[in-house]
Chain A
Amino acid sequence: MKLLKLVPDDTNIKFLKLRVPFYIVSVLLIIASWALVFTQGLNYGVDFAGGLEVRATFEQTQEAPIPDVRNKVGALGYGDATVQRFGEDNQVSIRVRLPEEAADNKETAQAIANEIVGTLKADYPDFRLDGNDNVSGKVSGEFREDAVLALVAAMLAVALYIWIRFEWQFGVGALFALFHDVSLTLGMFALFQLEFSLQIIAAILAIIGYSLNDTIVVYDRIRENLKKFRKMPLPELLDLSVNETLARTVMTSLTLLVALVPLLAFGPESLFGLVAAITLGIFVGTYSSVYMAAPLLIWLGVDSNSFVPKETEADKQEAAARKLTEG
């Protein structure tokens, strides 16, 4: 049987030749992402913004009467309601920000939810309530803090481990690659105003995990080659390492994509945001391992001696010890 080879043997793409332009583009993208996050803001779901979300299905209709629902809910006087398609064409999510004093008042939030459901049920007999979320401002604030704290703590700890296992330059490189991935994902969410919820945090975590995997595989090969080819110039060595792991990179990404695409196409709507973010993350994560994590090593001054001093020191001591016992 002839086996499939996605990457031909002896592939030698000069990835690093374009490192400066790619770096400029990436840094610009990172800046643009943060600018978007700060100017446009993220479209926080009720998890992070607090408020009330009602999800419902119009069972007898093909398409939910979104503009009408928006008007009706808006007319109740709780500010502009965010009414979006949610899942099928006949499913909607209705989000209302709670008035200040309602945030900590259990009855008010409930009364508003009941009022919305009641109003819509009266006008649309086929209105079916699928669920509702109701998060007070206090809890949503804690969710935000928790999520940021958890992300930052995890990223720093990971960088520290890589520093210890490899060299400090590798730790910095990995941290930067992760920062790149997180920034671009956030930028994407700000640009398209996709709902940003706790589930998306889980997706970002998965992206970080995947990107990290990628970065470490490449770094591991770089470390190996640094020991093997002591005289090779670093850009060339990085290219070699990336090319050597290219077959693996392509194969792994492809495998994950073929698993994820059906989930995007046929999976439950509730998973869509999550899966879309992870799919996007596979591209971003792969790119960052090759174009962010690796070239940074050049500028941070990794060279063939990076992994040597410790070993020669140990060797020396061992040799000295051997001499002593022999002598």
Chain B
Amino acid sequence: MLEFPTWKKIWLWGLTLLLAACALPSLMSMTSANWPSALPEPTVNLGLDLAGGSHILLEAERSEVAAQRLENIEDSVRTIMRSAEPRIRIGDISTQGGNLSFMVERAADVDRARELLLPIINGQGLTREWNLTVRDETRFVLTPTPEGTDNAVTQAMDSATEVVRKRIDELGTREPTIIRQGDTRIVVQVPGLQDPEQLKELLGQTAKLEFKLVDQTALPSDVQQGIAPPGSQIFPYSDDSDFAGSSIAVRRLGGIQGDSLVNATQGFDPDTNEAVVNIQFDQQGATKFSRLTTQNVGKPFAIILDGAVLSAPNINEPIRGGGAQISGSFSVESAAALAISLRSGALPVDLAIIEERTVGPDLGERSIRQGLLAMMIGSVAVVVLMIATYGRFGVYATAALVLNVLMLLGIMAVLNTTLTLPGIAGFVLTIGAAVDANVLINERIREERKRGRRVIAAVENGYKEATRAIYDANITNFIAGVLLFLFGSGPIRGFAVVLVIGLFTSVFTAVVLTRLWVSGWLRKTRPADIAI
């Protein structure tokens, strides 16, 4: 009991003080506002529920990715067949039922067509992207494989995450967290964000920009009924445009996609003084755009954003140099938001906001101040109670408790974990466990003394007997904590992390450290009786 070799003492004290020291930056930054926030030392992150800010959960629909993928392969098939030498004529192309099917007009072309499709259905990786069957001699059916769809979803989410990151960076907010969650979700957390509206507007926009020629041959009555002439598609006007509620027919092919953009900025139309978005194409896009406008002077083209027509101006003269202007009843804010979205690129898939939480920054700060005050009052009460009950042993227990809190904070800072409101419940439980451990030990020592054991034997036995119950209780809670972490979601995990770390620090401080101190004191004074 009394034997604590020097190396062990150094090791215990070193570890304790090192971890406790790691807690200091966090304590400082939590209590005083003027502590420099750009400290190199690690600090505990405060969750948004404590510090204020916005939490947004975005989700993509798997089915939408699949539909997009089907659309892409339709385009690929058309292109491949058209550019084959000699050209392979296909017809009756359809994407119903989640499959792509089409007919090869001449049966003699079937083998050649199959050959040409092999690279795209096998994909680049090891997984097969599509299953190909040929029915009735000439009908090709491409069915997506689950692996292929998985790949497409992963890719779409990876690039969506990148786009989201770029857009948020444009807002210039401090330390946003952007994480992929599960297969189809992205968590965005922005601490201290004052105005989540702007953020949501940015994230809710896919920003898929297209320029397509208006099909002037379409009959207005057909268009309103949703009937498009062959080779054309119907698009609705955007809700914000002057023609909201009506639709327009545009040529399916020969347009330009917004992905060849290099820059987009908000500006004003020199003539009307309306807010507009100025865009700049890259070399390839500029060439295409110049050709499109040269060949179609005097005809209207539609500017389509996320499947809705913003405006359909006439091409007055060829537009060379790769710059263009998008108009469409913008406010300055919405034009600026669109410019950011276009600059950051289009989202490969539409993201819906399925969860949003915002906590005002005042609230968070006040919560912490009140919480700290209440904790201080509580701590004083605990200290008084412990010392009044166990005397010197109560002092040791109190010191252990303080170090426990510091070590727990220190470890959380080093691991860069986030302290949330549920985490505070975990904190309370940890402190309870630490208090309980010392109570168990001290009550045991009392008992042993009552049975007439001598001081050193009583202390030794007290620690030995109590430790078993302490370990059992802590291991049980540890198991519970691990399972909560595995099966729980956000807030439950926040609780579990603090609980698990706290179990280690509370056992360490309440059992090991107090024992070190008690043994040191006993060895030095060798008391015949102890007050406990």
Interface residues of A (CB under 8 A from B): 1, 3-6, 9, 55, 104-107, 109-110, 114, 128-136, 138-139, 142-143, 146-147, 149-150, 153-155, 157-158, 161-162, 165, 198-199, 201-203, 205-206, 208-210, 212-213, 216-217, 219-221, 224, 244-245, 247-248, 251-252, 254-256, 258-263, 265-271, 274-275, 278
Q: Does B24 reach chain A (CB closer than 8 Å)?
A: no
With contacts A130-B359, A199-B421, A212-B473 known, is A266 near B373, CB below 8 A? yes
With contacts A150-B487, A255-B439, A270-B363 known, is A132 near B375, CB below 8 A? no
In the complex, chain B residues whose CB is within 8 Å of the CB of A5: 389
A212 in contact with B469 (CB, 8 Å): no
A254 to B52, CA, bound (A): 34
In the complex, chain A residues whose CB is within 8 Å of the CB of B386: 255
Q: Does B98 reach chain A (CB closer than 8 Å)?
A: no
Interface residues of B (CB under 8 A from A): 49, 52, 57, 59, 197, 200, 204, 352-360, 362-363, 366-368, 370-371, 373-375, 377-379, 381-382, 385-386, 388-391, 421-422, 424-426, 428-429, 431-433, 435-436, 439-440, 443, 446-447, 450, 465, 468-469, 472-473, 475-477, 479-481, 483-484, 486-492, 494-496, 499, 531-532
B363 in contact with A255 (CB, 8 Å): no
In the complex, chain B residues whose CB is within 8 Å of the CB of A114: 197
A-B contact count (CB 8 A): 243
Can you identify 25 A-B contacts, CB atoms within 8 angstroms? A6-B389, A106-B354, A130-B363, A132-B357, A133-B356, A134-B355, A136-B354, A139-B354, A146-B492, A150-B487, A154-B487, A199-B491, A202-B422, A206-B428, A206-B429, A212-B476, A213-B432, A254-B385, A258-B378, A260-B428, A267-B371, A269-B367, A270-B49, A270-B367, A271-B371
A131 in contact with B357 (CB, 8 Å): yes
A259 in contact with B483 (CB, 8 Å): no
B489 in contact with A143 (CB, 8 Å): yes
A278 to B426, CA, bound (A): 11
With contacts A110-B200, A206-B426, A271-B371 known, is A201 near B491, CB below 8 A? yes
Task: Specify which of B378, B389, B492 is in contact with A202 (CB 8 Å cutoff).
Answer: B492
A237 to B414, CA, bound (A): 47
Closest 5 CB pairs of A and B: A202-B422, A268-B367, A259-B378, A150-B488, A220-B469
In the complex, chain B residues whose CB is within 8 Å of the CB of A268: 366-368, 370-371
In the complex, chain A residues whose CB is within 8 Å of the CB of B197: 114
In the complex, chain B residues whose CB is within 8 Å of the CB of A161: 475-476, 479
With contacts A153-B483, A216-B473, A268-B371 known, is A198 near B491, CB below 8 A? yes
With contacts A205-B484, A263-B375 known, is A135 near B355, CB below 8 A? yes
9 extra interface residue pairs, beta carbon distance < 8 Å, beyond A202-B421, A202-B422, A251-B439: A131-B358, A134-B353, A135-B354, A147-B492, A153-B487, A199-B421, A212-B480, A248-B443, A274-B422
A198 to B429, CA, bound (A): 17
CB distance from B311 to the nearest CB of A (A): 21
In the complex, chain A residues whose CB is within 8 Å of the CB of B477: 209, 212-213
CB distance from A124 to the nearest CB of B (A): 17
In the complex, chain B residues whose CB is within 8 Å of the CB of A245: 443
B388 in contact with A3 (CB, 8 Å): yes
CB distance from B449 to the nearest CB of A (A): 11
A134 in contact with B492 (CB, 8 Å): no
In the complex, chain A residues whose CB is within 8 Å of the CB of B486: 150, 153
B483 in contact with A157 (CB, 8 Å): yes
